[in-house]
Structure formats: C-alpha cells, structure tokens
Amino acid sequence: MATMSLPDSCTEPDGSAVIRVLSYNIRSMRDDCGALARVIRACAPDLVLVQEAPRFFRWRKYAARLAAATDLVILGGGATAAGPLLLCSLRATVERTEDVLLPRTPGQHRRGFATAVVRFAGARVGVVSCHLSLQRQERLAQAERLTETVDALGAAHAVVAGDLNDVPSGRAFRRLAGRYQDCWETEPQGGEYTFPAHEPRRRIDAVFATGGIEVLGCGVPDGLPGVREADLRAATDHRPVLAALRVPADRD
C-alpha cells in the first residue's frame, strides 16, 4: 500500500496558505456513517468537496449531522445543487457561495455545481464541487460549463474536484486536465484509484487546481495515519482524494 505524508494546514509568513482539500462521493450517506466521519476527520481537511450528498427528505438534517461529526461547517450546496456539497473548517472566511443547476438531458439525472469563494488568511480561492454525467456527450458539455463557472468566480486561484464519471483518457477528464493541474499527476502520493471502494481499479475522482497553486501532494489517503482500510471500504462506494495545496496570497 502506498503511504501518504502531507503537510499540515498553516499560514505562511508571506500570507499564502497551505490547505487540505478532500473530494469524496458519499453515496447519500447510505453506508457506514461512522466510518465516513472517521475517514474525513483523519484527513484533517480545510475544505471537503462532497458529491452525492443527501438530496431528498430531511437532507439538511443529514448534511448538518455530517458536518457536526467531522468538526466542520456547511459552506454551501446539497440538494439545492443537485448533490454536490461544500464543507469547510473554521479557518475559512466565506466571501460568497452559489449553487449552479445544469440543464437536464431527458432521461438523465439532474446535475449541478456547488461553488464558493473563500479566504484562508491572505489567500483567496474559488471552490467548485462537481459530479458529472454518466452519459458521454452530456458529461463533456458539463466539463465545458465547469470551466466557464470557474472563470465566473472571479478568483485568481481556484480548486475544482469531484466525481467525473470519467477516466484520465476520457474526453471530459482530458478537458479539465488540459485547463488545470491534475493534482495527482502533478505530485502523486497515496493511492491512485478511487472506484469501487472495496477493490479500486479506476480513477474517476480527482482534484484540480489552477496554475498558480503549488501542489504539495495528492492521492487517495490509503496510507495516511488514522485512515483505516476497513473504514475506506465501509464508508461509501468511492475512495476519497486528498490534496495539500499552497495557495498564494491575494495581491489585489
């Protein structure tokens, strides 16, 4: 098993910030919620970009329960973004949030993005959690819309993460990797494959960062201290992706 060793979150003397970003498809919390919370806490994230958050009956209650169990707060998204949800630590200062619903192809599941702009000390960063379509052409169109959404945030630095339902050789994945840093490719640590959780053999979940962000390490936290293999298998049907990023101070 590959090991993972990432720097702790911190603020640098120049105002830049080291942050931990976790992307995780949680399958509507239908699995072992205790294992899910243990995995997230062990990753010590500043931002959690969730996919498949609960979307129906009492969905806010379930989102609040997850935030409380992981010592985080709800930043935005959930059912109002058709599934993507954003959680953050108390390090984050929230500038704004917005849910973006995407056009629905008849017969396909409704999709959306959860977006935010936040600050960590002097560093300002745009954030987008996404869960792209199972259908190839719709997925590619959503990837294009995703780049437009990032541009519209008006942030010099941004992080995009989610369940792409695509592998690195696929057109939607390549569209995003051609525009942003694929953090796993830039500085791989830990595991590579994210699906299925019990025996991962495909990389369909990823964290991307704009060019000015320094990637300090990224991967599935298989060997991270405190992350148990049994919990990764029990928490949901995907494995998470954890990235440590150094975001420059905002000079505007």
Query: Can you state the angle between helices 33-43 and 59-69, rounded to 10 degrees?
Result: 50
Is residue 7 domain-resident? Answer: no
Residue 153 lies in a domain: yes
Is 6 a member of any domain? no
Distance (Å) of CA 30 to CA 38, 57, 193: 15, 13, 22
Residue 209 in this model has a pLDDT that exceeds 90:
yes
Backbone Cα Rg of the chain? 16
For residue 214, tell me if it sits in a domain. Answer: yes
Per-residue pLDDT of 164-190, as tens digits, reads 999 999 999 999 999 999 999 999 999
Contact of 250 with 122, CB cutoff 8 Å: yes
118 token code pair: 């936040």
Taking only the tens place, the pLDDT of each residue in 154-166 is: 999 999 999 999 9
Residue 4 in any domain: the answer is no
In a domain, 92, yes or no: yes
Inside any domain, residue 5:
no
Number of domains in the chain: 1
Give the position of tokens 């970003």: 21
CATH number of the domain that residue 23 is part of: 3.60.10.10
C-alpha–C-alpha distance, residues 235 and 230, integer Å: 9
Instruction: For residue 140, give its domain range.
Output: 13-247
Residue 93 lies in a domain: yes
Contact 47, 92 (CB under 8 A): yes
What predicted TM-score, i.e. pTM, was given to this entire model?
Answer: 0.97
Q: What is the pLDDT of residue 1?
A: 52
